């Protein structure tokens, strides 16, 4: 049996509301290049196929950007759903063979190629690989008008790409049809599966607010990601 193929599903459904911009955040420029282009290029040459999940209403704009920036990578474009969960399902449905799947937020453009490669290998060995970093700030839990301190050493911030053997994540989503999840590891949790946490990267930030663009530009200018 030959080596398993690697696939990337990049989910790009953000509206840019919290960014305070009329342009969806995945299309905003970092150092003059759209966020989404930075993200996709991190997977180039590592995976065998990149599947980009976009709202149908963004297809035309995506094609215009590709022409404007001469972006010519071979991407399979898939129409997203009305939630992240449904968008991931649409991406999974586009894959018709066994392999290792990396599911990644379009607005995490600073993930390193080294981490992507490592996660794919870990998922092949253990069924899944989820990047996470320890929480660095003190935490408090709010309950009504009361709040209490919690032990931050027990908590981790979860990142993407989250990587899975295809049949594991496909079956996971099929078994929780109709429910919504904020990430893919939660789907495996729901089905009683064991999560394999892998050390993530502090620089692997999610572009959510306008100041995140400035931070991302500073990181890109200071280091070779």
Does residue 115 carry a pLDDT above 60?
Answer: yes
List Cβ neighbours of 31 (8 Å cut-off, separation of 6 or more).
217, 220, 221
CA–CA separation, 166 and 93 (whole Å): 11
Q: Which of 51, 63, 58, 42 is nearest to 8 (CA)?
A: 51
pLDDT digits (tens, 9 = 90+) for 122-149: 999 999 999 999 999 999 999 999 999 9
176-217 pLDDT, tens digit per residue, is 888 999 999 999 999 999 999 999 999 999 998 889 999 999
pLDDT of the residue at 222:
82
Q: What is the pLDDT of residues 83-101, one digit of tens each?
A: 999 999 999 999 999 999 9
C-alpha to C-alpha distance for 26 and 9, rounded to whole angstroms: 15
165 has a pLDDT exceeding 50: yes
Number of domains in the chain: 1
Between residues 23 and 121, which one has the greater pLDDT?
121
Query: Is 221's pLDDT higher than 80?
Result: yes
- Asked if residue 36 has pLDDT above 60, the reply is yes
Average pLDDT over residues 19-47: 88
Question: In this model, does residue 80 exceed pLDDT 70?
Answer: yes
| Phi, psi (degrees; rounded to nearest 5) at 6 | -110, 135
Q: How far apart are CA 182 and CA 130, in angstroms?
A: 14
149: containing domain: 5-222
- CATH number where 196 lies: 3.90.550.10
Helix, coil or strand: residue 48: coil
CB 100 within 8 A of CB 163: yes
Tell me the two tokens of residue 134: 């320890």
In which band, very low, low, confident or very high, does the pLDDT at 14 lie, cut at 50, 70 and 90?
Answer: low
224: which 2 tokens? 């070779």
- Look at residue 20 in the predicted model and tell me its pLDDT: 45
CA atoms lying within 13 Å on the CB side of residue 49 = 18
For the cut 70, the answer to whether the pLDDT of residue 1 exceeds it is no
Q: What pLDDT shows up at residue 21?
A: 52
Per-residue pLDDT tens over the stretch 47-75: 999 999 999 999 999 999 999 999 988 89
At residue 2, the pLDDT reads: 61
């Amino acid at each position: 049996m030959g080596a398993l193929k690697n696939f990337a599903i990049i989910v790009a459904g953000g509206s840019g509301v919290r960014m305070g911009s009329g342009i969806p955040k995945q299309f905003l420029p970092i150092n003059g290049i759209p966020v989404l282009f930075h993200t996709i290029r991190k997977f180039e040459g590592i995976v065998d196929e990149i599947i980009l999940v976009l709202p149908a209403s963004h297809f035309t704009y995506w094609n215009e950007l590709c022409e404007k920036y001469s972006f010519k990578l071979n991407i399979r474009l898939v129409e997203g759903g009305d939630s992240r969960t449904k968008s991931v399902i649409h991406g999974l449905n586009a894959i018709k063979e066994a392999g290792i799947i990396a599911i990644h937020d379009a607005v995490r453009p600073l993930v390193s190629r080294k981490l992507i490669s490592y996660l794919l290998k870990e998922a092949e060995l253990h069924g899944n690989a989820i990047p996470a970093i320890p929480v660095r700030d003190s935490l408090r839990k709010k309950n009504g008008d009361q709040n209490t301190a919690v032990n931050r050493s027990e908590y981790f911030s979860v990142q993407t790409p989250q990587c899975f053997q295809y049949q594991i994540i496909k079956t996971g989503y099929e078994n929780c049809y109709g429910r919504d999840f904020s990430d893919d590891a939660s789907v495996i949790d729901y089905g009683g599966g064991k999560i394999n946490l892998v050390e993530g990267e502090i620089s692997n930030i999610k572009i959510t607010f306008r100041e995140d663009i400035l931070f991302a530009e500073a990181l890109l200018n200071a280091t070779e990601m």
